[in-house]
């Protein structure tokens, strides 16, 4: 009688093969050529290697080792093939997401003009993903599905990302937290990180407030550290040396504390409501 670990190894094996076949079929239907090739190659290599191995050892030992090594055996060929394809294609603006050894999703970064962002490590845009494990729609909510998923099945994550020349995907902000000023995107996180380096600033948040000419401009809401008394001029002076002029906050206001969510994050929704009528200095 097979031991428990061997039985779970057999179950893992069956689930892995079934899941892999579903991913292959879905990527074939959606014409995700790179993903289809990688998954098909991985499954074929995985199956051949284990078939040869199963013929040389007893079943219980084989199933136990399958449970331990299945992830590594699929990850290694996928990892190297992914980078080989990137090098041959010489275009890393459209990359794969590898999770647990399987190529589960393709991703791309779309800038504010609707174009695919180049892999230069500087151009940012919204992260879109597509693949067998990506949601295809919201349950009984076609309006939300149409808003979030385009006609080709790309899902807008709401994350702001960049892709480096060596194909690293960097998440830098959330689209709802960006300050959209005069056609430019200002990353609230970049400004906040620079402001937190100012001596005497315990915490801060950057939000966009209405502006008659630029649509929105950044407002820095700061909390002073106990016993410290940083001024608006001091903060803006430090920021001027760290960020671009067009990223500079138009105003700085001090509060005793920032509103927090139940998960311990700054509630920018509450800050936007509180400062919706804030008048920026001219």
- Is residue 3 pLDDT above 60, yes or no? no
Task: Please answer whether residues 267 and 177 qualify as being in contact, where contact means their C-beta atoms are separated by less than 8 angstroms.
Answer: no
Q: Which two tokens stand for residue 222?
A: 């700061």
**Most confident by average pLDDT, 45-54, 121-130, 187-196:** 187-196
Strand partners, 141: none
Mapped to the 3 state alphabet, what secondary structure does 8-22 carry? HHHHHHHHHHHHHHH
Over residues 18-37, the pLDDT tens digits come to: 665 665 566 555 555 555 56
> Contact at 8 Å (CB) between 207 and 188?
yes
pLDDT over 70 at 12, yes or no: no
Q: Is the pLDDT of residue 166 over 50?
A: yes
Helix, strand, or coil (residue 4): helix
Query: Hey, is 245 helix, strand or coil?
Result: helix
Residue-level pLDDT at 137: 87
Spatial distance between the Cα atoms of 193 and 198, rounded to a whole number of angstroms: 9
Q: Which of 205, 210, 224 is nearest to 266 (CA)?
A: 205
Q: What is the number of other CB atoms lying within 10 angstroms of the CB of residue 142?
A: 9
Q: Give the confidence band of 55 by pLDDT, cuts at 50, 70, 90.
A: low
* Whole-structure pTM value: 0.57
Higher pLDDT, 134 or 76: 134
Average pLDDT over residues 205-223: 95
Query: Percent helix, strand and coil across the chain, each rounded to 5?
Result: 40, 25, 35
Lowest mean pLDDT: which of 67-76, 98-107, 123-132, 195-204? Answer: 67-76
Which residues 6+ apart lie within 8 Å of 242 measured at CB? 194, 197
Beta bridge partners of 218: 208
Find tokens 């929105």 and name the residue. Answer: 216
Could you tell me if 185 and 112 are in contact, meaning their C-beta atoms sit under 8 angstroms apart?
yes
Mean of the per-residue pLDDT values of the chain: 76
Give CA–CA dist 86/102, Å, rounded: 17
Q: β-strands 94-99, 184-186: how paired?
A: unpaired
What are the DSSP calls for 185-232, one per residue? EE-HHHHHHHHHTSTTEEEEEEEEEEETTTEEEEEEEEEEPTT----H
Strand-pairing partners, residue 93, are: none
pLDDT at 101 (0 to 100): 41
Cα separation, 235 vs 200, whole angstroms: 9
Q: What percent of the chain is modeled with pLDDT above 90?
A: 33
Backbone torsions φ then ψ of 187, nearest 5 degrees = -75, 120
Confidence label for 113 from pLDDT (cuts 50, 70 and 90): confident
Give dist(CA 118, CA 124) in Å, integer: 9
Separation between Cα atoms, residue 79 and residue 227, nearest integer Å: 52
């Amino acid at each position: 009688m097979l031991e428990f670990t061997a039985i779970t190894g057999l179950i893992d094996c069956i689930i892995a093969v079934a899941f892999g076949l579903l991913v292959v079929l879905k990527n074939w239907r959606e014409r995700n050529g790179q993903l289809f090739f990688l998954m098909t190659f991985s499954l074929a290599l995985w199956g051949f290697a284990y078939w040869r191995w199963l013929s040389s050892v007893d079943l219980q030992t084989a199933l136990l080792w399958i449970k331990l090594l299945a992830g590594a055996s699929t990850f290694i060929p996928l990892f190297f093939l992914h980078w080989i394809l990137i090098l041959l294609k010489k275009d890393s603006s459209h990359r794969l997401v590898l999770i647990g050894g399987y190529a589960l999703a393709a991703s791309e970064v779309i800038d504010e003009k609707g174009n695919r962002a180049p892999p230069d490590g500087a151009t940012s845009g919204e992260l879109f993903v597509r693949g067998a494990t990506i949601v295809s729609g919201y349950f009984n909510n076609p309006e939300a599905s149409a808003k979030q998923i385009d006609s080709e099945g790309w899902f807008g994550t709401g994350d702001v990302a960049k892709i480096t020349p060596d194909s690293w995907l960097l998440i830098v902000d959330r689209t709802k937290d960006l300050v959209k000023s005069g056609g430019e995107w200002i990353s609230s996180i970049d400004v906040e990180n620079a402001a937190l380096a100012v001596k005497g600033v315990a915490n801060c948040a950057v939000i966009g407030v209405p502006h008659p000419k630029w649509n929105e401009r950044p407002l820095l809401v700061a909390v002073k550290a106990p016993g410290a008394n940083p001024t608006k001029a001091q903060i803006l002076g430090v920021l001027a040396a760290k960020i671009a002029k067009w990223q500079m906050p138009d105003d700085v206001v001090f509060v005793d504390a920032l509103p927090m969510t139940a998960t311990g994050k700054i509630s920018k929704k509450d800050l936007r409501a509180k400062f919706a009528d804030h008048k920026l200095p001219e």
